[in-house]
Structure 1
Amino acid sequence: MKKKFVPYVVGIPNLSVGLLWAMNMSLIPMLVGTVTDSNRMLGLLVSMGAFTGIFVQYLAGIISDRSNFKMGKRKPFILGGAIIAAIFIMILPFSKSYVLMFVCAFLFYFSLNFFQGPYYTLIPEVVDDNQLGLANGFSKIISVLGSGVILVTGPMLWDKNHSFPFLAAAVLGIISVMIGTLPIKENKEKYTKPTKISFDFIKYPSVLMLFASVFFIFLSYGCITPYFVKYCAQQLNFSNATASNGLFVLTIVGALFAVPAGIVSDKINRKVVLLAGTVIFTVGLGLAAFATSVLSLYLLLSLIGIGFICIQVTIYAILAEIVPPERLGEFMGIMNLFISLSQWIATLVMGWILDTAGFKYFFPVAAVIMFIAAIVVFSSKFNKFVNASNSSVRM
C-alpha cells in the first residue's frame, strides 16, 4: 500500500470502536431497562466497560509490545479481540435476566478493550509523525460515522426487534476491522526490545500530567454518557429517539471538526488544541444544565462535540511523542487505565447521585470536573521524549 493512503486506511477500524461504544450510550441502557429500572444496576453493568479497560488495555499493550508474529505485533490482537467482541454483542440481547446480561456485557467489554489498546498503538507506529494528527483526525471521523449509524438507525431497528441493532453492530464492526487492518503492513523497523515491565510512569513528568488530564476529562465524560438518554426522558420528557438523535448531532459535529483539529495540532501545538477542547467542553456542559428545548440542547451538544473531538485527536498523539517508543503499547495501556478508571468511578457515583438526589446535578457535576481538567491541562508541560536517559525538549 502506498504510504499516502495509510493514514486513511488505518482509521477504518475505528468505525467498530465508535459504533460499539455508542451502544453504551443508548441501546445497552435501553436493553438493561427491559430487566431492571434501577440506575445503580444500570450503572454497574455499563461501568464494566470502564472497569475492564482499567487492566485489559494495559495487559494487551505489554503483551503486544513483546510479540512478533508473522502478521505483526498488533494485528493478531486487533483481529482476535474484535471478533470475540462481535460474538458477545450479538449474544447480549438474547439474555433474559440481569445476571446473564451482566456476564455477556462483561465479556464483550473485555474483548473490545483487548482490541482497542493495540489498535490505537498501531496508528502512530504505521503513520509518519508529520501526519499523525491527520491520521487521528480521520480515524475520529470514522469513529463518529460508526456512532452515528448506531445512534440514528439503532432505535429504529430496536423497534422492529431488540436484537437487530446488536447484530448489525457486530457485522459492521468485523467488516471495518478487516478492511482497515489486513492491508496494513506493520513497520518492523520500529520493533525494538522493550525493557522489563515497570509501572514507572511517575518518572516522566510530562506523562504524569497527561494522565492526570485524561483522568479528569473522562471522569466528567463518564458522568454523562450512560445516563443521557434517561436524563432526556425523565427530566425533559423527550423520547428515546430524540435523545439518541442528540447524541448523533454531537458526533456529527465532532466529525466535521476532526480533521481540521488534527491538522492544527500537527502544525501549531497539540497542547493548545487539547486545552481548547476542555474549555469548550466545560462551557457546553455548564450551559446544557439550563437547556429545556430540543433545539437548545442540540446546539449545546454540538459545542460539546467540538470540544470532545479536540481532546480525542490530541491525547494519543501527545502520548506518542512523550514516551519511549519501544514502550508505546505499555504506556498506551496505562493511559487507558486512567481513562477507564475515571469512567468506572464516575458511572457508579453518578448512578448513586441520580438515585438519591435526582437529575438536577447531572450536568453541573460534569461541568465542574471538566473545568478541573482544563486547569490541569493549562498547568502542564508536555516534553518530547528524546532518549533513554529521560532527556527531553519542550514541545
Structure 2
Amino acid sequence: MERENKLNYKRTFYIGCAFFTIMLLWQVYNYTTPLFLDDMGVKDTLKGIIMAADNLFAILFIPLFGIISDKTKTKLGKRTPFIIVGTILAALTFPIIGYFGMRGNLVGMIIVIALVLLFMNIYRAPAVALMPDVTPKRHRSLANGIINLMGGIGGIFAYGTIIMFFKGESITRIIPFIVVSVLMLVGLVILVTKVKEKNILVEIEEDEEVKGEMENLNPLSKKEKISLILILAAVFSWFFAVNAVETFWSVYTVDILNAPDTNIGATALLIFTVSAIGMYLPAGILGTKIGRRKTILLGISLVFIPFAIAFFFREWNLIAMVALFIVAGIGWASINVNSYPMVVELASGKNAGKFTGFYYTASMLAQTLTPVFIGYLMDKTTRVILFPYASLFLALAFVFIFLSSIGVDKKLGKTIEA
C-alpha cells in the first residue's frame, strides 16, 4: 500500500501543532520567569528551586497521563481529549503568571505556575505519543523532525514577542503571555479539526505494518533494557546541561557578559532556535541515512564545542554569540530529533504513552535537579561556572550514547540505527 512506503507529511504537521503550543509556552516561561524573580531579589538557589518545581510536576504527571491515555477509549480517540482539556486550561491561566510577575507577587506567581504546569502535563505525553501511534517505526525520525520543527516555530514566535515587548518595567511585558495563550488556542483548533484521531486509528487497522507494530507487546529482553537505560541516562545528562544554560542564560548575559539590556540574551536564544529549526528535517533524514546513534553523537559534539568556547567570553559579543549558538542549535536538533524515536522504538503502538513517559521522566528529572544544583554552585562560586558545568554533562551524555550499542542484539541494533 502506498501509505506504508511514505510518511503522511500533512498529518504529521497538524499533529505538530500540539508541540508548537508546548514549546511556545515553555520558551516564554523559561526566559521571563528568572528575570521576574531577579526583580524580586530572589537568590539564585531559591530561583533554581522555583524553576525546578515545574519539572517536578512533570515527573509526577507526564508518565501518569501517558499511561492513562494508553488505556483511554473515547469517541475522540485516546490522546485528543487530554490535548483539548490541557491546552484550554493552560492557555486561560498562563497570562496570570506575567501579571503576578509584573506586580512582584511571588506567592501568587508560584501558585499560578503550579496550576499552569499541571495543565500542561495533562496533555504533553498524549500529544507527543500521538505521533508514534500513527507512524511506522522507520519513519519516526523524520516525523519527529517535523514535530520538532513545529515546536521550533513556536519558539520563534515566543522569542520574537519577548524581544519586541519584554522590556524594562513596561506594561507591555504582559503581551508575550497573551500572545502565547491566543496561539495555543489557534493551534488546538487546527489540530482537532484536521486530525481525527479515531478515524486514523481505524485506518491503521488496515495497515499491516503499523498494526503488527501495535500488537507487538513482548517484554523487553535484558539487552534491550540495558540499551534503554543507557539512552535514558544520556537524555538525562544532555538536558541537565542544556537546561542549566537556558534557565540562567538571561541573567548570565547581564552579570558575566555585561549585556546592555536584559532581553538581549533572547537574541542568541532566538538564533539557537532558528538554527535548530533549520536542522530538524535534515537531522531526521541524517538519522535515517547514517543511524540515529551516530547522528546523536555528532549532535552532542556540536553543542559541547560552543559551550566550551563560550566559557572564555567576559564581554557581550553579538557576532561570536550568534556563531556559537548557530552551531549549538544544529547539534541540539540532531540530538532531539533522533533520541525520542530511539526510546519509543522499543515500544508498541499500544504503549507508546508509557515509553513517552520514560523519556520525559528522564528529561524532566534532569530539568528539575539542574537549576537547583547550578544555582547552588553559582551562589557558592560565581556564575562563570555555568558553561563548564554544562560541558561536563554533555561529555557524560556522549559516553552513555557511545556505550548504548553495547549489549544490543543484532536485530535491535539495526532497528535503532536505522
Contact (CA 8 Å) 1:222, 1:344: kept in 2 or not? no
The 3 A distance-change label for structure 1 pair 253 and 236 is: same
Match of 1:259 among 281, 284, 287: 281
Match of 1:210 among 224, 231, 236: 231
- Partner residue of 2:379? 355
Match of 1:177 among 169, 188, 193: 188
Contact (CA 8 Å) 1:65, 1:194: kept in 2 or not? no
Amino acid at match of 2:357: G
SS in 2 for 1:326: coil
Distance (Å, rounded) in 1 between the aligned partners of 2:118 and 2:387: 29
- Partner residue of 1:50? 55
- Partner residue of 1:64? 69
Contact (CA 8 Å) 1:324, 1:385: kept in 2 or not? no
1:120-199 equivalences in 2 (<5 Å): 120-159=128-167, 160-186=171-197, 187-188=201-202, 189=205
Deviation, structure 1 residue 274: 1.1
Deviation, structure 1 residue 282: 1.1
Match of 1:103 among 104, 111, 126: 111
Match of 2:265 among 243, 248, 254: 243
Distance (Å, rounded) in 2 between the aligned partners of 1:249 and 1:222: 16
SS in 1 for 2:277: helix
Contact (CA 8 Å) 2:50, 2:110: kept in 1 or not? yes
Contact (CA 8 Å) 2:223, 2:409: kept in 1 or not? no
1:3-22 equivalences in 2 (<5 Å): 3-22=8-27
Deviation, structure 1 residue 329: 0.5
The 3 A distance-change label for structure 1 pair 23 and 199 is: farther
Distance (Å, rounded) in 2 between the aligned partners of 1:249 and 1:4: 26
**Where in structure 1 are there 5+ consecutive unaligned residues?**
none
Deviation, structure 1 residue 266: 2.2
- Partner residue of 1:374? 398
Deviation, structure 1 residue 48: 1.9
Deviation, structure 1 residue 392: 4.4
User: What CA deviation, in whole Å up to 9, does each residue of 1:321-376 have, x standing for no partner?
Assistant: 12243221111112211111111110111111122211121101110110110011
The 3 A distance-change label for structure 1 pair 6 and 129 is: farther
The 3 A distance-change label for structure 1 pair 312 and 94 is: same
Amino acid at match of 1:275: L
Contact (CA 8 Å) 1:66, 1:194: kept in 2 or not? no
Deviation, structure 1 residue 314: 0.6
Distance (Å, rounded) in 1 between the aligned partners of 2:222 and 2:89: 31
Match of 1:331 among 355, 371, 386: 355
Match of 1:32 among 18, 37, 44: 37
The answer on 1:79 being equivalent to 2:79 is no
Contact (CA 8 Å) 2:405, 2:413: kept in 1 or not? no
Distance (Å, rounded) in 1 between the aligned partners of 2:334 and 2:276: 8
TM-score under structure 2 length normalisation: 0.86
Contact (CA 8 Å) 2:308, 2:387: kept in 1 or not? yes
Deviation, structure 1 residue 201: 9.7
Match of 1:300 among 324, 337, 342: 324
Match of 1:88 among 86, 93, 97: 93
The answer on 1:273 being equivalent to 2:281 is no
Identity of aligned residues (%): 23
Deviation, structure 1 residue 218: 0.9
Contact (CA 8 Å) 2:239, 2:366: kept in 1 or not? yes
SS in 2 for 1:182: helix
Deviation, structure 1 residue 319: 1.6
**Where in structure 2 are there 5+ consecutive unaligned residues?**
206-210
- Partner residue of 2:240? 219
Contact (CA 8 Å) 1:13, 1:178: kept in 2 or not? no
The 3 A distance-change label for structure 1 pair 227 and 5 is: same
Displacement over 6 Å in runs of 4+? 191-195, 198-203, 382-386
Match of 1:283 among 305, 309, 319: 305
Amino acid at match of 1:7: T
- Partner residue of 2:208? none
Contact (CA 8 Å) 1:216, 1:373: kept in 2 or not? yes
The 3 A distance-change label for structure 1 pair 48 and 76 is: same
Distance (Å, rounded) in 2 between the aligned partners of 1:146 and 1:217: 22
SS in 2 for 1:325: coil
Deviation, structure 1 residue 71: 0.2
CA RMSD of aligned residues (A): 2.7
The 3 A distance-change label for structure 1 pair 237 and 115 is: same
Amino acid at match of 1:241: N
Amino acid at match of 2:374: M
Distance (Å, rounded) in 2 between the aligned partners of 1:288 and 1:360: 10
The answer on 1:310 being equivalent to 2:318 is no
The 3 A distance-change label for structure 1 pair 305 and 174 is: same
Distance (Å, rounded) in 2 between the aligned partners of 1:141 and 1:369: 25
TM-score under structure 1 length normalisation: 0.91
Contact (CA 8 Å) 2:299, 2:331: kept in 1 or not? yes
